[in-house]
Structure 1
Amino acid sequence: MDAKEVVCFCKKVTYGDLQKAIENGAKTFDSVQEVTKVSTGCKKCTDKAKALVSELLAK
């Protein structure tokens, strides 16, 4: 996935933002959410965001 691809349109969070949060020490979806604010708007992206974070944490 391209780092510039938007995951959360409400908060304008990109895949790269998720990667950066994990690189900077986030170890759970909740901690990534706290840093990036992903899935804190309409929440339509929650399932996709959780899947992407799980995938990134598994690397």
Structure 2
Amino acid sequence: MESGTIICNCKQVTYGQIENVVREEKNISNVVQVFDDVQKQTHCSTGCGGCHDKIMDIIADLLYQR
């Protein structure tokens, strides 16, 4: 997926923004905690919530790559 791809339409959050937060995470053992941190920093999934599952999948994929 390209860095500029919009993942959260409500807040205009890109894949690259999510990727940056995940890459900076120290505690990667809890996907839900990582999601909470991504949400706090980017405000993704705070509008309609329709992107929640997509963001969780992205986080899981990025953590798996580590």
Q: For the superposition of Structure 1 and Structure 2, which TM-score range results when normalised by the shorter chain?
A: 0.7 to 0.9
AA in 2 matched with 1:56: L
Whole-Å separation in 1 of the counterparts to 2:44 and 2:55: 7
| Per-residue Cα deviation, 1:4-57 (whole angstroms, up to 9, x for no partner) | 000000000000000111223364111111111111100011111111111112
Runs of 5+ unmatched residues, structure 2: 29-33
- What's the Cα RMSD here? 1.3
Whole-Å separation in 2 of the counterparts to 1:23 and 1:36: 14
Scaled by the length of structure 1, what TM-score is found? 0.87
Runs ≥4 in structure 1, deviation > 6 angstroms?
A: none
Q: Which shifted more, 7-16 or 30-39? A: 30-39
Greater Rg by CA = 2
Runs of 5+ unmatched residues, structure 1: none
Scaled by the length of structure 2, what TM-score is found? 0.79
